[in-house]
Homo-oligomer: A and B are copies of this chain.
Amino acid sequence: LPVCHSRTPTTGPSSLSFRSHTCGELRSAHVGETVTLCGWVQYLRQDLFVILRDFSGSAQVLIPQDESVSHLKAALCNLTIESVIKVTGTVRSRPAGQENKAMPTGEVEILAEGVEVFNVCRKLPFEIKDFVKKSESLRMQYRYLDLRSARMQKNLRMRSQLVMKMRDYLCNVHGFVDVETPTLFKRTPGGAKEFVVPSREPGRFYSLPQSPQQFKQLLMVAGVDRYFQVARCYRDEGSKPARQPEFTQVDIEMSFVDQAGVLSLVEGLLQHSWPAELGVLAAPFPTMTYEEAMRDYGVDKPDTRFGMKLIDLAQVFSSTEVEFLRSALDQPGGSVQAVCVPSGAELFSGKDLEELKQTAKTQFGQELSVVLVRADGTLKSPLKKLLSGSATDELLQRTAARPGDLLLLAAGPLPSVRPLLGNLRLRCAALLESRGVSVRDPSAFHFLWVRDFPLFLPKEEAPGQLESAHHPFTAPLPEDALLLHTDPQKVRGQHYDLVLNGCEVGGGSIRIHKASEQLHVLQSVLKEDPSLLSHLLEALDSGAPPHGGIALGLDRLVSIMVGAPSIRDVMAFPKSFRGHDLMSRAPDFVSEEELKSYHIAVTWPAEEGEGEGSNKE
């Protein structure tokens, strides 16, 4: 074969660089070409081979054994793992029988003809191999090493590609305008979860907003028509394991649109940007009302990848004399509900059942009745002797329980029973899966819209008062608008949540666009001081179009797409669950002097010893 010198390509990942190809792209078709690769030494084998790795994969470099190029051999054999080099050489077929089918470049190797060592790597705290187990805190402290793993490279690249395609769809297909909104903003009244940022004016603080909600609505009033932003948002919740102090949402708002328009847009958006390797996304997505979700799944973000729905047993027990069932059903809003766990009686141990009961008691303050259906169809339960034969038959029929199944029963007010069984439904699914039963297809993506949420909920601390279920800018359903003045608690809002595999990955609404309606909600329903939102009320009074939108939680969405257990696995530099950057050790102390220009001083707690150890996670 004639020797063919590859030049740096003008486009693609090797353009403008020292290399001619990436490590992962070489195939038999390249045999005979002279190529230049740059990358990290994955490992050395018997002074014969160097496996060179970059983001795209790895390639086998053959170390020449010829005396005339002994300097080359010396340079390569002295390398430490993870050193960074450039290798020029000729692509050859591997000798017959030495191909590696598990390696995409396994048919070829590169006979080294020149090498440049860019950097020699010292001993590392852990090896860059996906199968090497590392503690979370070690991964975070050496994040720049952790990110070298194939898994993290894939996660970051899939995220980048997803966002790129989303932007393409919004800008180029539907005429959206990418607008950046400020993150140094005014504090929301009572915004306890907002970080404050002191200014150089004594006593005055900016605040890092939890979302661009006000700005996106103001942009609609401003006639921008269609806005989107991949927006950084902030939420200070102290230490919550699943949360990050800063996170990203794909923020969207449109004018002259109704709920159906927003839902269509998002469905098209996800179809357009969905990675081919994850399969085809069918649209429109199924839709469910809040009431249906709570009724069937006991939760407003149901995982619809499996059944095990909540079953209402009010009819079965309509004439029961069993004390706790009777008293539950006699109360207004009282109910008896069950979940049937297929094979639960077979597969769950006594300890499992005890834990389910404990969960009901400690986390939900409720009693759980457990009914096992034996192989012969008879029941095993404390309830058994209290039930007549016909009640037993009716129970089995209504729940469609079969031999080997498990029934979980709860009795009480609906708003207590549903969340309990909704939670146990998910626990039982996980438990079944841990016993080898396939309940949820891990490669399935079940998107679902949940809509018609209540617009207001009773305040937890003062149930006589109402608070917004989502935020005070959500418009009521048109058919419920009059109830705003007579029975606000019955009003359903034009809010919609996007749910994926049982996780909320987005939420939005059609907004109130009339100042008078917004004022009524703030002043008369929520009893809030409307002057705090005077700029928004004034804006609505200045020619506001009907508008609505949505925000997608990008971190959560991507983490589900890549099958990562945590959103930390789809962020380059996440904080620990205590909000620390373990690499740079942020947050850190700042001198009194430096705080002076912000007119603040630290108020040290009287007793608590801090300092040593407070760095630890």
Contact = CB atoms under 8 A, between A and B. Distances in A.
Interface in A88-137: 118-119, 121-122, 124
Contact of A186 (B84, B234, B255, B585): B585
B543 A40 contact: yes
A183 B157 CA distance: 21
A38 B256 contact: yes
Q: Which of A121, A168, A206, A257 has the most CB of B within 10 A?
A: A206
Contacts of A177: 156-157, 160
A552 B411 CA distance: 63
A303 interface: no
A201 interface: yes
A236 B200 contact: yes
Contacts of A38: 255-256, 545
Interface stretch (A62-70, A141-149, A456-464): A141-149
A587 B206 contact: yes
Interface in A571-617: 571-573, 575, 579, 581, 583-590, 594-605, 608, 610, 614
A437 interface: no
B185 A586 contact: yes
B40 A223 contact: yes
Contacts of A167: 164, 167
Given A160-B179, A173-B11, A246-B182, A54 B223 contact: yes
A319 interface: no
Given A55-B223, A543-B83, A182 B513 contact: no
A225 interface: yes
A128 to B, nearest CB: 9
A613 to B, nearest CB: 12
A357 interface: no
A261 B16 contact: yes
A221 interface: yes
Contacts of A236: 200
Given A16-B257, A174-B11, A179-B572, A205 B588 contact: yes
A573 B215 contact: yes
Interface in A39-85: 40, 53-55, 82-84
B19 A256 contact: yes
Given A206-B586, A257-B17, A610-B202, A514 B180 contact: no
Given A17-B254, A84-B545, A223-B147, A204 B587 contact: yes
B157 A119 contact: no
A535 B12 contact: no
Interface residues of A, number: 136
Interface in A550-576: 571-573, 575
Given A187-B588, A218-B144, A192 B594 contact: yes
A553 to B, nearest CB: 14
Q: Which of A146, A156, A571 has the most CB of B within 10 A?
A: A156
Contacts of A163: 178
A222 interface: yes
B196 A144 contact: no
A278 to B, nearest CB: 19
Nearest to A36: B256
A87 to B, nearest CB: 12
A549 to B, nearest CB: 12
A181 interface: yes
A202 B605 CA distance: 7
Contacts of A587: 184, 186, 197, 199, 201, 204-206
Contacts of A11: 173-174
A54 B256 CA distance: 11
A145 B184 contact: no
A545 B600 contact: no
A161 interface: yes
A584 B17 contact: no
A413 interface: no
B605 A225 contact: no
Contacts of A15: 173-175
B164 A172 contact: yes
A264 interface: yes
A327 interface: no
B196 A195 contact: no
A598 B604 CA distance: 10
Nearest to A157: B177
Given A167-B167, A177-B157, A202-B610, A224 B55 contact: yes
A584 B186 contact: yes
A221 B542 contact: no
A5 B432 CA distance: 57
A86 interface: yes
A1 to B, nearest CB: 27
Contact of A118 (B53, B175, B219, B546): B546
A505 interface: no
A38 B256 CA distance: 7
A358 interface: no
A328 interface: no
A599 B589 contact: no
11 contacts: A12-B173, A54-B223, A83-B543, A164-B167, A180-B232, A180-B572, A184-B246, A184-B586, A185-B584, A186-B588, A197-B208
Top 10 closest pairs, chain A to chain B, by CB: A13-B175, A186-B586, A147-B222, A121-B543, A204-B587, A16-B261, A82-B543, A186-B584, A199-B587, A160-B178
Given A185-B584, A202-B604, A206-B587, 10 more contacts: A119-B514, A124-B542, A147-B219, A147-B224, A153-B224, A196-B595, A197-B208, A203-B610, A600-B600, A601-B603
